[in-house]
Amino acid sequence: MEASPNTNKILQILTQTYPELPIPLKHRNAFELLIAVILSAQCTDARVNTVTPKLFPNDRPCAAADILKLGEDQVRKIIYPCGYYNSKTKAIMGCAHALLNKEVSSNFQELTALPGVGAKTAQVVQAQAFGIDAFPVDTHVHRVCNRLGLADSGKNRDKTERQVKATISQKHWSRLHLELIYHGRALCTARKPKCSECPLNKLCPSSEA
């Protein structure tokens, strides 16, 4: 896929529209972010942010030993509201065992070697905990990229990632990831996108405005 002729203008408008980009998942260290991202699969960030305070210590950042001390049954009970609690509990306990007395790595291969950690989770940790240029693709990012013509990948999120990385400079990846999330939540929603309110409507091939 070739870069859209509107790509640079789209990037410019997104940055103007979303000048402040707070990280959606609350965390105090890389381990907390890793666990929060695991919990966020098929779950809203807002709900994750109500669950993690019950999972993590109040007075200090969470470490693997804290999760192991809670135990599998208690972890499962706490994270139940996030859905898919059995598989998420397995991943969280697996990560806690693997990272006992260790720091979370910034290396992609080491991150994806952890239980339940795929490319998207690893890249969120790289970008938001370590400041590494990365482009994780979630449902919002995938949807908005295809609507804007930044990707043409059907239902294949991996293809969306490859296409965007091939046509957009690496220095933009991490910021663009967050801009697309915020845009997908605020305006380019899955159902009934607010095209008439969107600052990109004149550049968007999917615009209904």
Active site residues: 120, 138
186, 192 Cβ separation under 8 angstroms: no
Question: Considering only CA atoms, which of 171, 165, 181, 183 is closest in space to residue 131?
Answer: 171
Q: Which residue type, as a one-letter code, is found at position 16?
A: Q
Question: Considering only CA atoms, which of 56, 102, 106 is closest in space to residue 78?
Answer: 56
With a CB cutoff of 8 Å and minimum separation 6, the contacts of 79 are: 39, 51, 55, 85, 88, 89, 92
129, 103 Cβ separation under 8 angstroms: no
Q: Which residue type, as a one-letter code, is found at position 79?
A: I
CA–CA–CA angle 81, 21, 144 (5° rounding): 75
Mark out the alpha helices in the chain (DSSP H runs).
7-17, 30-39, 45-55, 64-70, 72-79, 85-98, 108-112, 119-130, 139-148, 157-167, 173-186
